[in-house]
């Protein structure tokens, strides 16, 4: 299974909306396997299709390594054509990062619970509520499918703090431990 290069900040594909997939073809299955391979190789907890240059409405995640001891674990999960039906609970600020914006982290406030409708790895329809760390990763990855990045939530001041980093990433000069798409 090949490891796919990760698309980084300012590539237009990260700003495009994705398209739902019609069915789970062998090509899509193998693409999903590649997404997992790519995510684990880069020590990510989630990866959305646009981050590897695809416009499919798919993200994969395995948030278990970051879960608190008292939190439920889920193992590897695939979300195909996801829709966030409802966001619930208090907004909680927490540090986030993104494989497409290497070495930049900042606090983002997100609701603590989400109700998501999606198709799983077998293309079966699911309606499930998630909370805690998993709910945060789902919201971050779902945003990717809508062309939204976590830095979009930051204040103008906070964004300015990251300006130098973003410029370096955009110019293709940032070192990463995983392959990125050349600029
Ligand atoms: Ni991300």
Quote the pLDDT of residue 64: 82
Q: Measure 61 CA to ligand 1 centroid, in angstroms.
A: 11
pLDDT tens digits, 74-90 = 899 999 999 999 999 99
Residue-wise pLDDT for 152-167, tens only, equals 999 999 999 999 999 9
Q: Which CATH number fits domain 6-181: 3.90.45.10, 3.20.20.80, 3.30.365.10, 1.25.40.10?
A: 3.90.45.10
pLDDT class for 148, splitting at 50, 70, 90?
very high
Whether 146 is a known active-site residue: answer: no
**pLDDT confidence of 20, banded at 50, 70, 90?**
very high
Quote the ligand 1 centre to 101 CA distance (angstroms). 8
Query: Which listed residue (141, 146, 168, 175) is catalytic?
Result: 141
Centre of ligand 1 from the C-alpha of residue 7, in Å: 10
- What is the spatial distance between Cα 159 and Cα 156, in angstroms, rounded to a whole number? 5
For residue 97, the CA-to-ligand 1 centroid distance in Å is 7
d(CA 52, CA 8): 9
Confidence class of residue 1 from pLDDT cuts 50, 70 and 90?
Answer: low
* CA atoms of 38 and 163, how far apart (whole Å): 27
What one-character DSSP code corresponds to residue 176? -
């Amino acid at each position: 299974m090949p490891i796919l290069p990760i698309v980084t900040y300012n590539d237009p594909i990260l700003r495009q909306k994705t398209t739902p997939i019609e069915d789970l073809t062998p090509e899509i299955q193998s693409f999903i396997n590649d997404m997992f391979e790519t995510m684990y190789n880069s020590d990510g907890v989630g990866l959305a299709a646009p981050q590897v240059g695809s416009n499919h409405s798919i993200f994969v995640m395995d948030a278990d390594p970051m879960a608190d001891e008292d939190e439920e674990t889920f193992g590897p999960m695939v979300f195909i054509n996801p829709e966030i039906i409802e966001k619930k609970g208090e907004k909680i600020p927490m540090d986030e990062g993104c494989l497409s914006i290497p070495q930049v982290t900042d606090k983002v406030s997100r609701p603590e619970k989400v109700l998501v409708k999606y198709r799983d790895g077998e293309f079966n329809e699911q309606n499930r509520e998630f909370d805690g760390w998993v709910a945060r990763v789902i919201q971050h990855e779902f945003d990717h499918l809508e062309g939204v990045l976590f830095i979009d939530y930051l204040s103008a001041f906070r964004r300015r703090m990251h300006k130098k980093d973003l410029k370096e990433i955009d110019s293709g000069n940032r070192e990463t431990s995983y392959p990125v798409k050349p600029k």
